[in-house]
Chains A and B, each alone.
Chain A
Amino acid sequence: MALEPPLSRVQRWMQEVVVHPGSIDEALASKAARAEVPPERLGDVVLPSRTLAPAQRVEIYQRMYLLRMEEALGIDYPALARFLGPRGFRDLVRDYVASFPSRSYTLNRLGDHLPAFVLTAGGLRHRGFCHDLARLELAMTEVFDETETPSLSAEAVAAVPAEAWAAARLRPIAAFRLLALRYPANAYVQSIRGRGHRHPRPRRKDGWLAVYRRNYSVRRLELSLPAYRLLSELVAGAPLGPAVAAAARRRPGSGAGPTQLYRWFRGWMAKGLFMGLEGLEPSTNRL
């Protein structure tokens, strides 16, 4: 008797087969696929062609699935892919999409869980380095896609009375991320972007980084630890006065003196890291 499953069942079956990471025979015989269409009834669901058996025809879709996932994640994680090599990255992608399949109409967010997944993925060498690479590359894609927000202008900054700065809170642009790294992930990303650059070894080396977008271009700014801490507090909404005072107190002699603080602050403003000032007196709050 012919098997005529309803549309919903056909689709559930075909999806289970297409996303299965094993061979086509394993996919057809998997528990999930078998629950919809027994493998021995395949010929009742899919017709053969002149040249291909039903299983071979379905296999075309199955083979393309992982290739497409690998291509999409390779675009977002080129440094991680380079570090792991083709086979290592393919294995990671296969395991990742089995745990975190796309549930969105866009592939842009497919890799959102990859940094966390790297922490538990099986068979991964240099896990900490891979984690930092993934975190950095995710931050870069997020910054790339963030909403464009205008930066605070020099005129707006100049218009703030000196006495108002202590209470001011700086609001960062949307396309901004701060990262504390334990491995030289930024140097690795840089090394794959230029020819002839030597890749740094995946050894422990603390680093701090701001990832931001300027003129629609994603940029990375290496920070010292005191600068990272100050920027973190400002981004978290701390008023400028107490944050600066805390930075100066934190490590006397560390270089976070008034002159250095002023240089950092001026540099961050020039790079357009902030979009607004809050907490000013009403007369100065219309910037």
Chain B
Amino acid sequence: MYRWVEHTGELELEIEGEGPEEVLAEAATALRELLGAGGAPTGPATRRIVTAQAPDRPALLAAFIEELVFLAESESLVPIGLRRVELDEGLARAEVEVARADPPHLVKAVTYHRLEFEPAEHGYRARVVLDV
């Protein structure tokens, strides 16, 4: 589950998941909403392996989202589904279904401001602020 939180200048995303993998999957779904808001995909779905590395779990979430943002900016590919997510020490690897679209609202960067990705009462909770 994810939700966009009011932020005067930027976009703040809060995510909850039963496990850390679900948090990454929800992040991809949120990016699909954000980057796919320009309309339906204009090309067939393809698969990409997205990998991210970082020294800790919150930074790993930021790095994973950055990879999705880079796909959108460099190839106009937006995520439409997540096939498989693997999380290991400092490494995330996901098989992502992507499709060509017209991303209307590109994210400049994924910030470390108030960045969180921690165990919570019912799973995991994360927060990330995107510079738009």
Q: Do A and B come from the same complex? A: no
